[in-house]
Amino acid sequence: MKKIMLISLFLSSFSLFAVSATDLTKNWICTTNASSSDVAADKAADDQMKNTKGTADASFKFAAEHCRDCTKITCEVND
């Protein structure tokens, strides 16, 4: 009986550590560490990057297209 209880406890502990899949289809925002720009189009792109949620793919592509002098692109899910 002890073995059954230990096995049950062991197996149930896996459910506590189960990782849910990350949804790549919505709520992603990607930003860059590009320096500030005085160009209106660059400012508009920076604002759009910070404020527009999209798919992981589209958000990353937009950040990469507007990278300018960046060395890093950071993407996060914003629920």
Query: Which mean pLDDT values do the consecutive 10-residue runs of the chain (79 residues) have?
Result: 61 62 95 96 97 97 97 95
64: enclosing H helix or E strand: helix 56-65
**Rounded to an integer, what distance in angstroms lies between the CA atom of residue 51 and that of residue 58?**
14
| Placement of tokens 């560490």 in the chain | 33
Domain boundaries, given as residue ranges, for the chain: 24-79
**Rounded to an integer, what distance in angstroms lies between the CA atom of residue 4 and that of residue 72?**
51
Q: What is the pTM of this model?
A: 0.73
Phi, psi of 20 (to 5 degrees): -80, 150
**Rounded to an integer, what distance in angstroms lies between the CA atom of residue 16 and that of residue 32?**
35
